[in-house]
Amino acid sequence: MDSNEFVTRLAGRLRDGEVQPVAHGVVEEIWLAVVDGSLESGERLPTARQLAIGLGVSPRSIERAYTELERRGVVVTRPGAGTFVSIGPASESDRARHQEFAALCRATVEQANQLGFDIDELLDALAEFRTAARADSSPEES
């Protein structure tokens, strides 16, 4: 997929309100493009600035997305050269697992909204659960 097609597809999802927050949407869109094979291993992604301009969003949002993708091993950034896809298409089971997880995330956000909570409140609650889980799993100090 060329970078213009990628930007157009992502811009449409952002405009339609399908993706919130922006960084999450970029991560999800790039991951899905890698999984479905429309972004191939070694393919160069637009710079954070280029993508931000194309989407009309903050470059910081794109930088956060690229950082998360790099943390997950989906992309690699080479200073002076750019950001490149670093993994190939996922297996069918990985693809299905990711799609199920994405559906779970969307349903959770929708249910939180129905209960009167926004996504930031949901993220705060998840962070509290993570902190509690880490505290429960860490060895007790004596």
Residue 20: what pLDDT? 67
Residue 39, domain member (yes or no): yes
Q: Residues 76, 117: one domain? A: no
In this prediction, residue 142 has a pLDDT band, given cuts at 50, 70 and 90, of very low
Q: Residues 73, 102: one domain? A: no
List of residues 6+ apart from 34 with CB closer than 8 A: 41, 74, 85, 87, 88, 89, 90
Q: In this structure, what are the phi and psi dihedrals at residue 44, rounded to the nearest 5 degrees?
A: -85, 130
Residue 17: what pLDDT? 61
Q: Residues 107, 79: one domain? A: no
Q: Residues 128, 97: one domain? A: yes
User: What's the pTM?
Assistant: 0.60
Q: Residues 69, 32: one domain? A: yes
Q: Residues 23, 80: one domain? A: yes
pLDDT at 135 over 50: yes
Sheet containing 75-78: which strands, arranged edge to edge? 44-45, 82-85, 75-78
In this prediction, residue 44 has a pLDDT band, given cuts at 50, 70 and 90, of very high
What does DSSP assign to residue 56? T
Q: Residues 70, 118: one domain? A: no
pLDDT at 15 over 80: no
> Can you tell me the distance from the alpha carbon of 38 to that of 45, in angstroms, rounded to the nearest whole number?
12
Provide the domain limits for residue 99: 92-137
Lowest average pLDDT, out of 15-19, 126-130, 132-136, 138-142, goes to 138-142
pLDDT at 47 over 50: yes
Ranges assigned E (strand) in 16-139: 44-45, 75-78, 82-85
Residue 142, domain member (yes or no): no
